[in-house]
Structure 1
Amino acid sequence: MLLGAAVRAGTGQLLDLGAGVGTAGLVALSLDRAKEAVLVERDVATADLAAQNIDDNGFGEMARVLPLDIMSPGPMKRAAGLAENFFDVVIANPPFFEAGQGTLAPETSRADARHMDGSALENWARCAAGCARGGGELIVIYPAQGLVALLNAIAPRFGGVTVLPISPRIGEAATRLLVRGTKGSRAPLTLMATRALHGAAGRDFAPEFDAIFRGQAALDW
């Protein structure tokens, strides 16, 4: 939800890499942040669910799914219909545990979505850069402990990087990051103030995030 809501208003062509069942891309469309979306998902069964979600939510003329592994060679991606130097915004929620770390999910598709080796993040960034147009944006949601690896992967390709830390509550350490960069930009990095998902007590979301999770607002950052 946060990733889809983080897309800048006025986006034309959106690409969601590793789209899963399509949540982020469809959130961006439902909030009118993007006009059209391509969802890339390598697990065939999950890609089928994304296609069903597109149809069930009335986005058949605005979105499509490519059942494709972004680690595939360039010719294979082009043959599957993944355009190069085309998209205004690329969004991604890459796997965040290196292989052998964390606890594997019992279902293979979920395990694959959460685990990858250290070199794979570089490949995600390379794919995003190849698909984004000049001046296009990459937006990634990622665990806070992976910030160094993420910046190392995207900095050679995207500048003007903005990092928005998100913590569970005010005064607590950030656990997630939204990171945005612009292809070809030479602007310096901006580290924004941390925003808290919840209030000081209880499980209720802060008003800003409650509106996002209800599908009523986008993320202003």
Structure 2
Amino acid sequence: MPTTLLGGRVRLWQPVKGYRIGMDGALLAAGAAGMLAERAKRAVSALELGCGVGGVILSLVARCPLVHVVGIERDEATFAVTQINLAQAGGDHRAILGDIGAGYRSFDLARFDLVLSNPPYFDDPETLRAPHELKRPAWIADDGLQAWLDFAQAAVVDGGEIMFIHRADRLGDILSGLPKCGSFVIRPIQAFAGEAAKRVLVRAKRLGKAPLRLLPPLVLHDNGERKHTPEVEAILRGEVDLGW
């Protein structure tokens, strides 16, 4: 079924059943756009690991027209929808059918200025109620989170950046799993103010040396009549990027 993002600036097809871009993907694209806004206005390359139907790719391009994006997706049915969405959007952005677990060297790719990902959140299918079979690839990382971290480190240029959104309780694994990176910046994501963060956006630089920075949390919902806080509503409409 067709979906619009960023106030109608992005149009894409998504399955009725199966993985669909949600809040985590929207925040990942907004965070990547905010990071790229810090750079000089020049063309940059970005790689998304596990690109799904292309929602993050297309959102990032809509926010940053100078970025050239490549996505990798292993599910053939999802990949077919991605191809339709990229063709509909135009440009020379592309997706590759392949498995992150095979490792970066199995792909004939140059390294990228930015590697970003919203990887599956669970390594062990026994840790959660079995998801719908069409959603399983998006929820279960068969090769584990470390395979995604290793791929990202190998695929980014020296001085380039990596950005992941993941469960807050895996933050330690992310930090220790990127030994070639530094200059970490972490933004906790809270459902409501005063609650523990359940998600984190993590930004890292390959060979970076700056001290780790922990930013104020992004709060998704308020306790009033709005579904989201004003800041998050502006991000979802594409009026602002997620700053660092």
Partner of 2:212: 189
Paired residues for 1:1-221 under 5 Å = 1-7=26-32, 8=35, 9=37, 10=39, 12-32=44-64, 34-56=66-88, 58=89, 60-78=90-108, 82-83=109-110, 86-99=111-124, 100-108=126-134, 110-116=135-141, 120-154=144-178, 156-221=179-244
Q: Mind listing any 5+ residue stretches in structure 1 that lack a counterpart?
A: none
Deviations 1:168-187 (A, max 9, x none): 11111111110000001122
* Contact 1:14–1:34 (8 Å) recurs in 2: no
CA displacement at 1:62 relative to structure 2? 3.4
Equivalents in 1 of 2:164, 2:67: separation in Å? 20
State the SS of the aligned residue for 1:161.
strand
CA displacement at 1:214 relative to structure 2? 1.8
Equivalents in 2 of 1:199, 1:185: separation in Å? 36
Equivalents in 1 of 2:218, 2:182: separation in Å? 23
Equivalents in 2 of 1:62, 1:171: separation in Å? 44
Equivalents in 2 of 1:34, 1:143: separation in Å? 30
* Distance change (3 Å), C-alpha of 1:178 and 1:33: farther
* Contact 1:96–1:143 (8 Å) recurs in 2: yes
CA displacement at 1:104 relative to structure 2? 2.1
CA displacement at 1:93 relative to structure 2? 0.7
Among the aligned pairs, what percent are the same residue?
34
State the SS of the aligned residue for 1:134.
strand
CA displacement at 1:76 relative to structure 2? 2.9
* Contact 1:160–1:181 (8 Å) recurs in 2: yes
Deviations 1:81-129 (A, max 9, x none): x32xx21111001111121211221224x21221125x62111111111
CA displacement at 1:148 relative to structure 2? 1.5
* Contact 1:35–1:62 (8 Å) recurs in 2: no
Equivalents in 2 of 1:73, 1:23: separation in Å? 23
Give the counterpart letter for 1:136 in structure 2. G
CA displacement at 1:18 relative to structure 2? 0.6
Q: Mind listing any 5+ residue stretches in structure 2 that lack a counterpart?
A: 1-25
Equivalents in 2 of 1:33, 1:177: separation in Å? 26
State the SS of the aligned residue for 1:208.
helix
Aligned residues: 211
* Contact 1:170–1:200 (8 Å) recurs in 2: no
Equivalents in 2 of 1:35, 1:74: separation in Å? 21
* Distance change (3 Å), C-alpha of 1:75 and 1:152: closer
* Contact 1:31–1:217 (8 Å) recurs in 2: no
* TM-score, length-scaled by structure 1: 0.89
* Contact 2:104–2:155 (8 Å) recurs in 1: no
